[in-house]
A = this chain, B = another copy of it.
Amino acid sequence: MTSPRIVVIGSGIAGASVAFGLAARSAAVTLIDDAMSGQATAAGAGIIAPWVSSSDGAYYETYAAGGAFYPELLSRLSASGITDVGYRRTGAIVVDRDPSRLAEAAVLVRERAAAAGAVAGEVTELDPTRLRRACPPIDPEMSGLLITGGGRVDGRMLRDGLLTAAAGSGAELVRDSVVGLTASGGSSWSVATASARVDCDAVVVAAGARSPEILGRLGHRVAIAGQRGQLIHLSLPGANTGTWPTVHPLGHHYITPFDSGRIVIGATREDGTGFDVRPTAAGLRQVLDDALAIAPGLAEATVLETRVGIRPMSQRDNRLPFAGRITDASGLWLASGFGAGGLTMGPLIGDAIARDILGEPAPEIAALQP
């Protein structure tokens, strides 16, 4: 029996993870990147610290499992020659002006850290002085709660690393637009791009917030909607930001430091904006306002660039991603709906989908229920 040929549509974190999972297991993979702007992976801040998130229930379980998978992910990439994806375990700090609100939050974070074990690390309270030692630009009236296992990853480097590793194992990367997707009977598919055509045994739709459009052409509906996120990259020359933790107020906004003085602040959560990926006056003002409220020490930081991505938001009540086989189709898979958690959950779920396609036992993950 020959190896199956699989086409993956989309080159964000989901598609790249599926392609790497398949190619590393010797399947014949073609990944088609339709080169749309607004990819959430390319814009995302890259926080890998599920334990401090405000999510709960089954979504949190999946989110935490994604975080726990990172050591294995990095080890597999390293075995494929990819040694740097901008990941560093620098800790995550929840901050607030009110120590009692922070103490409340601490109960859940400690509980989660205990359940997660070594990957989550230690949980420590930081008074304002120690907090500012860990991250100098923070408002001196803020207190913090540090979880040492938190980390951050460069979304573009991770995506490119996965794609490079996949290509190194034989995957073909095509930069083109999918113009036709046809079931040709049995579990066979034909995928047409503007300049070629690929026949295959299975198709994985991993096109982020555009997945509903692609599935819609085949008559499948899926409850995923785009949500715009705007971020700003700052620079603090001479600051050793590479060792700073990520910072999380009790809300959606955050500060993610990277190496060489680069600091990412964000992000807006704008529903109903369609695929309009322009940074806006009100969006950037909100991002700047929120970041400077937490960290006035960033006032004189240089503004380097703005990024905008469209997150694929699951519209299910429990917010779980749509990741698994489309039940009423043959050979058709979906990996989308990760919301703001794609860089954390994508690698784990992508790998599980790859196993499932190849008939290998896949771990049971809540999100895999279609």
Spell out A's residues near B (CB within 8 Å). Answer: 34-37, 81-84, 156-157, 160-161, 163-168, 171, 173-177, 179-180, 193-196, 209-210, 212-213, 216-217, 225-226, 232, 234-235, 237-240, 242-243, 259-261, 265, 272-282, 284-285, 288-289, 291-292, 298-303, 306
CA separation between A83 and B272, bound complex, in Å?
Answer: 35
CB of A257, distance to nearest CB on chain B (Å): 12
A235 and B278 CA atoms in complex are apart in Å by 10
B289 touches A193 (CB 8 A): no
Most buried by B among A35, A83, A161, A194: A194
Q: Is the CB of A238 within 8 A of B289?
A: no
6 closest cross-chain pairs (CB), A and B: A176-B274, A282-B299, A167-B238, A195-B274, A278-B302, A285-B288
A260 touches B210 (CB 8 A): no
CA distance A173 to B238 in the complex (A): 7
Complex Cα distance, B242 from A81, in Å, reads 9
Query: A302 — which chain B residues lie within 8 A by C-beta?
Result: 278-280
CB distance from A120 to the nearest CB of B (A): 23
Q: How far is the CB of A16 from chain B (nearest CB, A)?
A: 10
Shortest distance in angstroms between A140's beta carbon and chain B's nearest beta carbon? 17
B180 pairs with A275, CB closer than 8 A: no
CB contact under 8 A between A279 and B260, given known A288-B285, A292-B285: no
What residues of chain B lie closer than 8 Å to A238, measured between beta carbons? 163-164, 166-167, 171, 173
Is chain A's interface secondary structure helix, strand, loop, or mixed overall? mixed
Excluding A279-B303, A281-B288, A281-B292, 17 further A-B contacts by CB distance (< 8 Å) are: A35-B275, A157-B260, A164-B260, A164-B261, A176-B275, A179-B212, A180-B216, A193-B274, A194-B213, A196-B274, A232-B281, A278-B303, A281-B298, A281-B299, A281-B301, A282-B299, A285-B289
Partner of A306, one of B81, B217, B276, B303: B303
Can you list 7 residue pairs at the A/B interface with Cβ under 8 Å?
A84-B84, A160-B261, A161-B260, A176-B275, A194-B213, A217-B217, A285-B288
Q: How far, in angstroms, from A277 to B34 measured CA to CA in the complex?
A: 11
Q: In the complex the two chains form, what is the Cα distance from A209 to B177 in whole Å? A: 11
Would you call B300 and A280 a contact (CB within 8 A)?
yes
Contacts of A34 on B, CB cut-off 8 Å? 275
**Which residues of chain B are near A157, meaning CB under 8 Å?**
259-260
Residues on the B chain within 8 Å of A272, using CB: 195
- The interface residues of chain B lying within 8 Å CB-to-CB of A234 are 281
| A84, A179, A275, A289: most-surrounded residue (chain B CB, <10 A) | A275
Q: Does B242 lie within 8 Å of A83, measured CB to CB?
A: yes
- Alpha-carbon gap, A84 to B259, bound state (A): 8
Give the docked Cα–Cα distance between A210 and B180 (Å): 12
Asked whether, in the complex, the Cβ of B284 is within 8 Å of the Cβ of A303, the reply is: yes
Q: Which residue of B lies closest to A180 (CB)?
A: B216
From B171, B217, B280, A299 is in contact (CB under 8 Å) with B280
The residue in A34, A168, A282 that gathers the most chain B C-beta atoms within 10 A of its C-beta is A282
